[in-house]
Amino acid sequence: MPEAERLVLIADDDLGVRDALKFALGLEGLDVHVHGAGEELLADADLCRAACVILDDGMPKMDGFELLRRLRAANRRLPAIMLTNHATDGVRARAGAAGVHLLLEKPLLDTALVDNILSLVRAGAAAGA
């Protein structure tokens, strides 16, 4: 799979979450860029080659929903996975309305995140072939 199709961008204000995700996805052979804020992800020089984004819904300054809105406004239609501490009905509805591919509640206890990212990356590779 070409490198351009293996890049996952993460925006989460929790260093432990960023480190754990970078480690787990790196074990799967993915290229991972981690960011502590939405502004950092938007400024990532490799944004145009990302296969998907993982966003925290509860970041200060710019939450994951605002970050996703800005990505969409900039015509970046990347598949998005949203992480939340509280998967309430309201958060689920908001995620659905925003076009979030998958909403997962922290702590991440199984392989759902990694499995879904690998599926998205493979689907992107197949579409680009």
CB 64 within 8 A of CB 55: yes
- Whose tokens are 């990302």? That residue is 50
User: Which structural domains are found in the chain, ordered by start?
Assistant: 3-128 (3.40.50.2300)
Instruction: Judge whether residue 112 has pLDDT over 90.
Output: no
Which pTM does this prediction carry? 0.88
Q: State the virtual CA torsion across 9, 27, 106, 17 in degrees, nearest 10.
A: -60
pLDDT of residue 128: 58
pLDDT band of 125, cuts 50, 70, 90: low
Instruction: Judge whether residue 44 has pLDDT over 50.
Output: yes
CA–CA separation, 49 and 47 (whole Å): 5
